[in-house]
Amino acid sequence: MNFEQQFNKFRAYIKTLSRRYSAATGIPYAEFESALNEEFFLKFEGYKEGAGKFSAYMRVVLTQRASRVANRKERQFYDSIEYIDGQAHENADGEEAATLEVPSEYDLEGNEVIRQGHILIRLHRKTDADKRQLINALVENSDSLTTAIVNEYLITTDARPTAIGKNLGIHHETVSRKLRRLAQNFNETQFGKINEYLAV
């Protein structure tokens, strides 16, 4: 059995399988194509002539490998990606390839400039002191329970309303309600954009 002939027979199947799994999972097409090509090579080397029909064997093997690639940790990474530029471009094979242009420019103050769609946004990243000042300003006119919830939120490792409520001996809905009320105190004209406080 000639490797090159068999590989050329399966090339279209590998492309189809890669395209289908890429569309379903959001993982790039190239990840699947590379993994399936590698799997074909490895399984072709290990295939024994009398072990059954080669094409049926290889289809099962390639489908299983595509499933394994789709369930790897990389999937979590690609699930968390949000494409800024929504335009898709076609690559040489005629498939859509998402592109992302992020300029690595900085303005004179050292703030990063990013492109969102067709708009440039300057991120003035806030320091920890700025974030602490914002928290203090939001809590300033609050009741003692809200202040206790915020302090617990800042020191606990499990910052969920249920955990905070359990630590303070109050119902978790009370915690959620107080935090929502506190969030309403945020004024963009007074404190600036919320994204500046959340930028990493």
Q: What is the pLDDT of residue 170?
A: 92
Per-residue pLDDT of 115-174, as tens digits, reads 444 444 445 667 778 778 878 888 888 888 888 888 888 887 777 888 888 888 999 999
Higher pLDDT, 65 or 188: 65
Residues 14-29 as b/e (b if ≥16 CB within 10 A, e otherwise) read bbebbbebbeebebbb
CB 40 within 8 A of CB 57: no
Higher pLDDT, 189 or 144: 144
Q: What is the pLDDT of residue 106?
A: 46
Based on its alpha-carbon atoms, the radius of gyration of the chain, rounded to whole angstroms, reads 26
Per-residue pLDDT of 77-100, as tens digits, reads 666 665 555 455 555 555 555 555
Place of tokens 């800024």: 84
Per-residue pLDDT of 56-82, as tens digits, reads 888 888 998 888 888 876 566 666 665
Choose among 90, 18, 128, 75: nearest CA to 10. 18
In the chain, domain spans: 3-83, 128-198
pLDDT at 16 over 80: yes
- Beta-strand runs (E) in 87-133: 88-90, 96-98, 105-106, 112-116, 119-123
